[in-house]
Amino acid sequence: MTAALPLVTLVLGGARSGKSRFAEEMVEAQGNGLYLATAQAFDEEMTERIAKHRNRRGDNWETIEEIREIVAVLEREARPDRPILVDCLTLWLSNLLFNDLHAGEEIQKLADLLQSGTLRGPVVFVSNETGLGVVPDNRLSRVFVDAQGDLNQLVARLANRVVMVTAGLPNVLKDQT
């Protein structure tokens, strides 16, 4: 028997680290899951990435694509018998920032949900750890890296479990289950 997922899990990693696949396996071990996809395909390469993720998941997943209002989806869809995988917070944040939406308000809504005790089922968040590289050479990139770091710290503080994936290998950073 697979251990039940905690209410909130954060899976961090760099680009191509294996974090999404690891998170998918965690959810698949529980049965069918809901995949909350935050990506937008602005070019052919991103279209191919999205298709690769869809094909890897197969038919056992229900998918909802929502690039902005993930909190509303979590409030509506979370339930004890079907974990939700949010892939990923990094693209969600970039959608908010680059479309001049009120990122601070949406992040606060997420924090409020995670702190409220009203989340009705397990959620696994995937996010990039963008702060491990060189300091970006332009203001916009620095603003994004800073905002991503703040978001990751917030979700990590509120999560029951935090896992860092490097080269496909998970390292549990926090486990309060």
As a whole number of angstroms, the distance between CA 168 and CA 35 comes to 20
Catalytic residue, chosen from 18, 50, 53, 82, is 53
Report the half-sphere exposure of 122 (CA within 13 A, side-chain side).
Answer: 22
Measuring CA to CA, how many Å separate 68 from each of 37, 89, 90?
10, 10, 12
Q: Categorise residue 40: left if φ over 0, alpha if ψ from -120 to 50, beta otherwise.
A: beta
Based on the residue annotation, tell me whether 53 is a catalytic residue of this protein: yes
One-letter amino acid at 111 equals: A
Contacts of 159 (CB under 8 A, 6+ apart): 6, 8, 9, 10, 114, 125, 174
22 neighbors 11 (Cβ within 8 angstroms): yes
- The alpha carbon of 134 is separated from its chain's Cα centroid by a whole number of angstroms, namely 23
Query: 62: how many CB neighbours lie within 10 A of its CB?
Result: 13
Could you give the residue numbers annotated as active site? 53
